[in-house]
């Protein structure tokens, strides 16, 4: 099954996020990796950040 979800990586230390951001790239990638590896019966149509569902 195809799933469509949105991920908020957070404020990440990158060229765009800057050196003052609280998270490194590995931590910021956790939400995207979790969504990319969802089980077939996992959620679809949600907005997620660090394992939490965020309101749209």
Number of residues written out for the chain = 56
Give the residues across from 36 on adjacent strands.
none
The total of other beta-carbon atoms located within 10 Å of residue 7's CB is: 20
What distance in Å separates the CA atoms of residue 6 and residue 18, rounded to the nearest whole number?
23
What distance in Å separates the CA atoms of residue 46 and residue 34, rounded to the nearest whole number?
13
User: What confidence score (pLDDT) does residue 30 get?
Assistant: 97
pLDDT tens digits, one per residue of 1-56: 899 999 999 999 999 999 999 999 999 999 999 999 999 999 999 999 999 999 98
User: What confidence score (pLDDT) does residue 39 get?
Assistant: 96
């Amino acid at each position: 099954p195809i799933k469509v979800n949105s991920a908020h990586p957070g404020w990440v230390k990158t060229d765009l996020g800057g050196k003052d951001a609280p998270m490194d790239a590995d931590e910021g990638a956790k939400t995207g990796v979790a969504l990319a590896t969802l089980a077939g019966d996992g959620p679809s149509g949600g907005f997620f950040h660090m394992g939490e569902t965020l309101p749209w």
